[in-house]
Each structure stands twice: as C-alpha cells, then as structure tokens.
C-alpha cells in the first residue's frame, strides 16, 4: 500500500496567499496565473483564495480586514482558520515581489498531483477490457500531454493587452521582407496573399485526384524546414515513408521520380541523391507514415513532437483517411469529418502553430462547365469550410495540345479569414514533382 503524500507545499500556499492579501499587484499576478482554487491542497487556503478573488472582482480593497469580513459574511471564517490564521500567513511574507514565483511552484505541484491521478486512473481503466487498449492509451497520452495547461489561467484579458501584442507584431511585419510574418511557403505570389502561414491557423489544401496535392504540400513544408530550419511534422496517411522520401529526394535534386523509383539512373545521378540525403538529414522534418491513425493519436503525437523537437508546423495528408474511434459511433460521415477538422483547428490554436490539412473535392466539379473548384465542393463536410482559416484549391486545366493537364497551376486562395482571396500562378514540373513561380518556368521538363 502506498502511504506517500501527494506532492504539496502548504507553507508555499500560505506565502502566496499572504502576498496576495498584502499587495494588490501580487494578487493580480497570481490571478493571472492560477485558474482557480483547486491548485491549493488545503481547504482553508481554497476558501481564502476565493474570498480574495471575490473582493478583486468587485473592485474592493484587498487586505486582512476585508478578507476576514468577506469570509465572515459567507460564514466561512472559522473553516478558513479564523482571523488569527490570516495574520499568521501574512507574517510569513518577507516581500510580496516573489508572489508569482511562489504561485508557479504551487501550479507545478498541482500538475504533479493531476499526473498521478491520471496515471492511477489509467491503470484502473486497463482492467476494463470493453474498450480497445489503443483508445485507452490515446486518451491517457493526450491527457498527460495536456497537463501543461492544467491549472493555468485562461479566458478574457483586456482588449488593450491584445492591442499591445498586435502592435508589436505589426511592427515586426513592417520590418519583414515582403510582409511575411508567418511560416513562408517559398512562393512569393502565395506569400503576398497570406503573409505566410500564421500560428493558430488551419490551412486546408484541396483538389481533385492527381493534381498534385501531396506534392504541393511537400513543397510548402520542406521549404521553411530546409531554408530556415523550422521544425515540421508530416502525417502521411496515404503514402508510405519510402514513397514520400523518394518523391522528396527527386524533387529537391531535380530528378525524374519515375526513373529514380525504377533505378534507371546513372552513378552521377545517384551521387545527386546522396547529396540530397545529406541535406535532408540536417533538416528538422519529422515524418509519421502510420496508417489507420485516429485523431486522438495525431493530437497526442503532435504535442509530443512539439515538446521534444519544438515543431512549429504540421501537415496532415489527408483528412479522409483518419481512422474513426469510439467518439465517432452513431455519427454521420459529415459529422465525423467535421469533428476531425474542428479538432485540428483547436490543435492549431492550442499549440500556436499552422496546421495544413489536405482534403478531397467532390465529383461535382467535373460535372460543371466551369471546372474551377468552389467552397461548396469540399468533400464530406461543410464544417471544413467553417473551421478553416485559409482554404486553398489546386487547379490545372486540361490542355488539348498536350492531351493532358497543363503544367500551369493555379493555387486559388478561396477563403482567408484575415486576408484577401486571390490566385497564385505556379508551374508544375511533372517529372520531378517540383512547383516553381510561373515567371521562372523552364522551357521544358528536365529529363531526370
């Protein structure tokens, strides 16, 4: 039997409360950090904290007399230890300047207690064989990784505070070349529309099959990782790691990917592949090619990647191949896909990163005279349109002379919550899988 006490420090709790009662600025700092009274272990301390917070909400002064009166008015003074106890905790304070530091100690201990609770709960649930073990593990991992937010204060802040942060950010944008303040795509026409992909945004990239959605997405996310060493994660639910690697190598080296896959290359070309491998080994690009992965697993793995490697951009290829879990039972396909897109949007906000999500388009586009996609063509769920901050369509027209799709590619920014819509014109090098600015198009595709 485990008789160990949960992690706690009653003395630190006393000091924090003493600081709050003694100094208004200390109280404000603590209120801005701690979510509620549950981070305190001692019930007396929870009552005192709530009394102090109630005074603050009413703009009443905070001192020992006011806190004592507040507790008395609510018939809780005795339970809180009485006036003598209030005097005792104030006497422990040397200086209220360190209130926030002490509060962070309390928060850390509360997170430890919650971790113990979640792990104990996880052990108990492992005995319940009615739920698949994978789902139990996914939930446990997601809850543990979410502990970094446990007990922290969220909610509303003064609009003026947001304005101050926005002012600083606008200053950075002003000084940034081309106005790109987010994660750059490597395509100036697209970055001129978006300003780069912004933290907290869900970016949907959609198109009909065989237009190069995956290839374009790889172009987007490898550029900042290679040039600026921005840690990036890719969840490839459709293609294997081998396929992704070969395509990425061929694209970067300017080689014909079909011939590379077949091994029909000379020694000099093989040397190019070797050099490319060296370049990518030095880039913070993390690939997960697990098939049949649930949205909970994606969420847990993203948080783990961010904690371990500082990942600042994620791509999911593609939403339609995410595996359904117990949360999807009894729901329509539209509801399920909507649940997935909303989860990815929430992840982008929580992790403060851009997430690129690839989606299919319905066949309705093929039945219209005008083939360019519209928002209503997003397949399986109207919620994708609602959740997305940016919706981009990839479109290439049929070329009668080529008897195939034109290399001229339109990246149609059809929706942008905080910016303009428009079209970026690119050139698609079919054999290598590389997209370039249309102004830089080659006369013909390279032979390799």
Which residues are catalytically annotated? 238
**Secondary structure in 3-state letters for the chain:** CCCCCCCCCHHHHHHHHHHHHHCHHHHHHHHCCECCHHHCCCHHHHHHHHHHHHHHHCCCCCCHHHHHHHHHHCCCCCCCCHHHHHHHHHHCCCCHHHHHHHHHHHHHHHHHHHHHHHHHHHHHHHCCCCCCHHHHHHHHHHHHHHHHHCCECCCCCCHHHHHHHHHHHHHHHHHCHHHCCCECCCCHHHHHHHCCECCCCEEEEEECCCCCHHHHHHHHHHHHHHHHCCCEEEEECCCCHHHHHHHHHHHHHCCCHHHHHHCCCCHHHHHHHHHHHHHHHCCCEEEECCCCCEHHHHHHHHHHHHHHHCCCEEEEECHHHCECCHHHCCCCHHHHHHHHHHHHHHHHHHHCCCEEEEEEECHHHHHCCCCCCCHHHECCCCHHHHHCCEEEEEEEEEECCCCEEEEEEEEEEEEECCCCCEEEEEEEECCCCEEEEHHHCCCCCCCC
CB 397 within 8 A of CB 371: yes
Neighbours of 362 (CB within 10 A): 15
* Residue 302 main-chain phi, psi, to 5 deg: -65, -45
Distance CA 85, CA 383 (A): 55
* Residue 43 main-chain phi, psi, to 5 deg: -60, -35
């Amino acid at each position: 039997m485990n008789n160990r006490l949960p992690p706690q420090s009653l003395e630190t709790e006393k000091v924090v409360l003493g600081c709050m009662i003694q100094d208004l600025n200390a109280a404000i700092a603590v209120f801005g950090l701690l979510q509620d009274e549950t981070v305190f272990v001692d019930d007396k301390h929870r009552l005192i904290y709530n009394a102090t917070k109630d005074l603050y909400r009413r703009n009443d002064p905070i001192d020992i007399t006011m806190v004592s009166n507040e507790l008395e008015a609510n018939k809780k003074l005795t339970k809180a230890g009485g006036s003598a106890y209030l005097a005792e905790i104030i006497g422990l304070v040397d200086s209220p300047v360190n209130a926030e530091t002490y509060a962070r100690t309390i928060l850390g201990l509360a997170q430890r207690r919650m971790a113990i609770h979640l792990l104990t709960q996880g052990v108990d649930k492992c005995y319940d064989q009615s739920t698949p073990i994978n789902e139990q593990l996914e939930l446990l991992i997601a809850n543990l990784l979410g502990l970094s937010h446990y007990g922290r204060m969220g909610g509303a802040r003064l609009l003026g505070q947001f304005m101050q942060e926005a002012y600083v950010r606008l200053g950075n944008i002003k000084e940034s070349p081309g106005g790109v303040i987010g994660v750059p795509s490597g395509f100036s026409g697209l970055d001129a529309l978006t300003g780069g992909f912004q933290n907290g945004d869900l970016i949907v990239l959609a198109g009909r099959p065989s237009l190069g959605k995956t290839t374009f997405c790889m172009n987007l996310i490898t550029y900042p990782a290679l040039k600026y060493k921005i840690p990036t994660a890719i969840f490839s639910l459709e293609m294997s790691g081998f396929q992704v690697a070969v395509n990425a190598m061929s694209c970067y080296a300017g080689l014909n990917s079909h011939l590379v896959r077949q091994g029909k290359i000379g020694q000099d070309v093989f040397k190019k592949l070797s050099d490319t491998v060296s370049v990518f080994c030095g880039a913070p690009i993390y690939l997960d090619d697990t098939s049949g992965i649930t949205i909970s697993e994606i969420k847990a793995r993203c948080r783990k990647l961010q904690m371990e490697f500082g990942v600042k951009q994620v791509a999911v290829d593609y939403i339609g191949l995410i595996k359904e879990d117990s949360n999807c039972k009894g729901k329509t396909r539209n509801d399920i896909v909507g649940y997935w897109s909303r989860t990815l949007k929430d992840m982008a906000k929580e992790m403060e990163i851009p997430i690129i999500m690839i989606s299919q388009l319905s066949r309705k586009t093929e039945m219209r005279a005008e083939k360019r996609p519209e928002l209503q063509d997003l397949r399986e769920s109207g919620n994708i349109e609602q959740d997305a901050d940016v919706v981009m369509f990839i479109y290439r027209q049929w070329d009668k002379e080529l008897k195939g799709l034109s290399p001229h590619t339109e990246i149609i920014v059809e929706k942008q919550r905080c910016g303009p819509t428009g079209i970026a014109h690119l050139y698609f090098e079919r054999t290598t899988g590389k997209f370039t600015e249309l102004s830089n198009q080659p006369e013909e595709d390279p032979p390799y």
